[in-house]
Amino acid sequence: ERKRSSRETQRRYKRPENIQHTVKVERGAKTRKRFASRGAPEGSEMCEMEKWVCEYCTYANYPSAIKCTMCKGQKPLLNEDIFRLNPSPPPGHLGTLIESSTLSLSNSNLTNAASGPSSAHEARNKWHCAMCTYQNWPRAQRCTQCHTKRDADVHNMQEHLKTLSIRRSDPDLMASNRSSPFGSATNLSGSRANLSGNAAAARVSPSEGRQAQALAAAKWQCAWCTFENWPKSLKCSMCARSRDSQAATPPPEHAQATLVSPQSPLGALPASPDRDLSADESAATNVVGKRSQQRSMEASNNCDAHQERRLRQLRRQADWNWLNACMGVVENNIGAVETYLACGGNPGRSLTINEVTLLNRNSAFDVGHTLIHLAIRFHREEMLPMLLAQISGSGPGIKRVPSYVAPDLAADIRRHFAAFLRIRKGAFSCHYVNEHATFALPAEIEELPLAIQEQLFDELLDRDAQKQLENPPPALNWSLEITARLGSRLMVLWNRSAGDCLLDSAMQATWGVFDRDNVLRRALADSLHQCGHLFYPRWKEYEMIQASLLHFTLAEAQWEEDWNTLLSLASQPGSSLEQLHIFALAHILRRPIIVYGVKYVKSFRGEDIGYARFEGLYLPFLWEQSFCIRSPISLGYTRGHFSALVPTEAYSRIEGARDDAEDVTFLPLMDCEMKLLPIHFLTEAEMGREEAIMRQWLDVCITEGGLMVAQQRLHKRPLLVAQMLEEWLNHYRRIAQVISAPFARRPQLTGYLSDGDTDEE
């Protein structure tokens, strides 16, 4: 079939009326043959032969058609095909194969032979399917009929095949082409002898010329769908595959087949080297390696671009005064630190992860560092006093309780408290304290300026807890008679926000320090374990009464499980505590404990989700009344947190010579609705006698407004507590002196003697 088509094509080329035609393919030959067999007239035969074949869909269009009737593709022009054979011909060369000025009739055979139609070239290069022998187009990756994949060897050979370029013309080539247009076509798959004999007649089709021009334009071809993409495209526009690095790489010089110049003999052509299979394998390996390397480089480039965009955004949002101050501490630039503080910067501000990323010095900066951390780390002794003075003068957010100002005295107080813990011999071997103390804020606070007083209260009190307890319905300071007339306003002290808040508040209400050494927690756990046979029956009976009010009961196994849970909570530092632990603390301190708290537990949305059940009176029922004192302490409860409630000493105590008279604080035993506070852990026999029990364990009195209150007596401060409070007050007194002092001091005048005496003399 190929030989017959070749002979018919040769005959067509020899006919003078067909010399001027540009495109001739097998379909045209078959059509002419079909028309001749049917006896068609000569005019219709000529019209059919003059049709031009579309390069995209191979449809034969009439000569007058400018676009393809089927796919609307542009009609190929002869001038374009000729010029694309050699994009850069040497100027002034007389032997150039293709001239752009004129197209003569004499060299049309050479033009048709050297630049045959792309459709005819592709038709000759069709590949046969190994399964169904169907002839498929060269660019097809699968068989059109059976969808079988193309042979890998043929695919690889055509993939790595480099385009040919014509550089010079050859008169012998012209002559051979005039006599036999297709007789000297080079077979790329032939042997070395065929190549050496016919290399001068190698021709390049217009489609291959266009591919060379596309490569020269830096377009890259997709290895999967053969679509030519723009150079900036990272993925194929058709199949979305990653870019093939080999597509954008121009073919090397040793892979280009060129035609010899007229001066060089045909025998001087270099022989084609034998194919090396190992080289092909290494080339394929290099292609795969380059593809993976390009993908990794693209991924890294994308990450770098994302990181750069993130850094630009952080730079726009950064506080550069703060970052320059941090760099100033590291580089010993005190001016940057002073600029930051002069702008109202907070010296206690800590570095965030984004700010550490911007500073980009992991060896110097870390998340959470403040200016003081950096000054201590880099030994900036001249900056530390300035930063500490700024922190001393700062208000909200920084707490300065007496135990923080005088840590050594606070440690001595904790050791003193631990030394006075005893265990009573007998059936009820519970821990108890041998010395009592009640903490109150010193009256000397009123001597400080109002601004310093406000700063002191901000650094000492828990403003949020105070606000919650005083908000309606109020649980604290709700009676003007008690707060204003009797001077018994209670203040909420700040403590550590952890599971130790109950023990901290109990220690603050008595000695003014935190339970940092867990002395009180160990005493609590030991007392519950050793005296469980007395605590458990009263706890179980009280809980059964509360459960019956809610109409449910528990089995004995559940009671024992709950009891074991309470015991384990008491022995674990940092774990939250319950009502039983407050009841046990009343026995350890040997005094009543009054808890003022919110009645409902709220969610983070502010919705009521349950009863708090902590508010009320806790009495040491398991001790004898004579063994306990009648002056209670008060605690506050707000949403899972306990705080110490302490009064302020009367200002009359600092006037003149101090006497040993006791100050009295009145603690209400009723809520804002004039109902008695509940007494926890009462037995069923004690129910209904709440007021009598209160009078039995407390110094109860009735105010003029009809309120039942308990008297809390303030004794003389213990020596260690007095020293700690004095050192704490001195801190604020120094701040008051700095504020009241003039900004510029008068310089001291120094007189120098004119005689030979020294200045010291």
**Residue 380, C-beta contacts closer than 8 angstroms, at least 6 positions apart:** 329, 332, 374
Lookup: tokens for 257 = 């087949």
DSSP-assigned letters across all residues of 596-641 = EE-SEEE-TTS-EEEE----EEE--TTS-GGGS-S--EEEEE-SS-
Check pLDDT > 50 for residue 409: yes
The average confidence (pLDDT) of the chain is 74
Residue 255 CA: distances (Å) to CA of 17, 258, 323, 523, 688: 40, 10, 59, 92, 110
Residue 345 CA: distances (Å) to CA of 394, 452, 567, 710: 11, 20, 48, 48
267-279 residue pLDDT tens: 444 444 444 445 4
Position 49 scores a pLDDT of: 61
Give the least confident one: 174-178, 410-414, 421-425: 174-178
Cα–Cα dist 243/253, whole Å: 23
CA 126 to chain CA centroid, nearest Å: 56
pLDDT category at 120 given cuts 50, 70, 90 is: low
Cα–Cα dist 488/712, whole Å: 10
> Which residue, among 183, 19, 185, has the nearest Cα to 112 in the 3D structure?
19
Residue 438 φ/ψ region, left for φ over 0, alpha for ψ in the -120 to 50 degree band, beta for the rest: beta
Cα–Cα dist 98/90, whole Å: 11
CA 730 to chain CA centroid, nearest Å: 46
Across the strands, what pairs with 713? 664
464-488 residue pLDDT tens: 899 999 998 899 999 999 999 999 9
Please say whether the dihedral angle defined by the alpha carbons of residues 13, 15, 18 and 24, taken in this order, is positive or negative: negative
Check pLDDT > 70 for residue 643: yes
pLDDT: which is higher, 558 or 35: 558
Position 101 scores a pLDDT of: 39
Please say whether the dihedral angle defined by the alpha carbons of residues 701, 703, 705 and 709, taken in this order, is positive or negative: negative
The conformation of residue 702, written as its DSSP 8-state character, comes to E
DSSP-assigned letters across all residues of 437-484 = ----B-GGGGGS-HHHHHHHHHHHB-HHHHHHHHSSSPSSS--HIIII
Q: What would you measure as the largest C-alpha separation in the chain, in angstroms?
A: 146
Position 121 scores a pLDDT of: 61
> Which residue, among 181, 406, 160, has the nearest Cα to 281 in the 3D structure?
160
Taking the C-alpha atoms of 148, 151, 155 and 156 in order, what is their torsion angle to the nearest 10 degrees? 140
pLDDT category at 604 given cuts 50, 70, 90 is: low
pLDDT category at 26 given cuts 50, 70, 90 is: very low
Cα–Cα dist 247/253, whole Å: 16
For residues 284-289, give the mean pLDDT: 52
Percent of the chain with pLDDT over 70: 64
Q: Which domains does the chain possess?
A: 1-76 (no CATH), 78-88+109-263 (no CATH), 318-393 (1.25.40.560), 402-438+462-727 (3.90.70.80)
Q: Give the active site residue among 326, 501, 531, 628.
A: 501
Percent of the chain with pLDDT over 90: 35
Told to judge if 501 belongs to the known catalytic residues of this protein, a careful annotator would answer yes
Check pLDDT > 90 for residue 83: no
**Phi first, then psi: what are they for 67, rounded to 5°?**
-120, 160
Q: Which amino acid is at 612?
A: A
Residue 429 CA: distances (Å) to CA of 267, 418, 523: 120, 17, 11
Check pLDDT > 50 for residue 694: yes
Told to judge if 641 belongs to the known catalytic residues of this protein, a careful annotator would answer yes
Position 661 scores a pLDDT of: 55
CB 654 within 8 A of CB 717: no
Q: Which residue's entry shows tokens 């009737």?
A: 69
**Residue 375, C-beta contacts closer than 8 angstroms, at least 6 positions apart:** 329, 383, 384, 387
CB 473 within 8 A of CB 613: no
Position 648 scores a pLDDT of: 93
Check pLDDT > 50 for residue 192: no
Cα–Cα dist 674/483, whole Å: 16
Cα–Cα dist 579/566, whole Å: 10
CB 199 within 8 A of CB 190: no
Lookup: tokens for 303 = 């990450």
Across the strands, what pairs with 601? 610
Task: Give the strand pairing for 633-637 and 593-597.
Answer: parallel
**Phi first, then psi: what are they for 236, rounded to 5°?**
-65, 135
Q: Is 220 helix (H, G, I), strand (E, B) or coil?
A: strand
Give the least confident one: 104-108, 574-578, 680-684: 104-108
DSSP-assigned letters across all residues of 296-328 = HHHHHHHHHHHHHHHHHHHHHH--HHHHHHHHH
Q: Is 582 helix (H, G, I), strand (E, B) or coil?
A: helix
> Which residue, among 565, 543, 695, 673, has the nearest Cα to 617 in the 3D structure?
695
pTM exceeding 0.85: no
Q: Identify the H or E element spanning 665.
A: strand 663-668
Find the distance separating the first CA and the last CA of the chain, reported in whole Å.
131
**Phi first, then psi: what are they for 513, rounded to 5°?**
-130, 170
Across the strands, what pairs with 493? 461
Position 24 scores a pLDDT of: 42
**Phi first, then psi: what are they for 264, rounded to 5°?**
-95, 135
Please say whether the dihedral angle defined by the alpha carbons of residues 470, 473, 477 and 483, taken in this order, is positive or negative: positive
CB 651 within 8 A of CB 443: yes
The conformation of residue 249, written as its DSSP 8-state character, comes to S
Position 41 scores a pLDDT of: 43
522-549 residue pLDDT tens: 999 999 999 999 999 999 999 999 999 8
CA 505 to chain CA centroid, nearest Å: 39
Check pLDDT > 50 for residue 397: yes
pLDDT: which is higher, 434 or 103: 434
Position 129 scores a pLDDT of: 87
Q: Give the active site residue among 21, 121, 587, 641.
A: 641
341-368 residue pLDDT tens: 877 677 888 888 888 888 888 888 888 8
CB 52 within 8 A of CB 75: yes
Position 490 scores a pLDDT of: 96
Cα–Cα dist 323/379, whole Å: 19
Position 5 scores a pLDDT of: 61
pLDDT category at 692 given cuts 50, 70, 90 is: very high
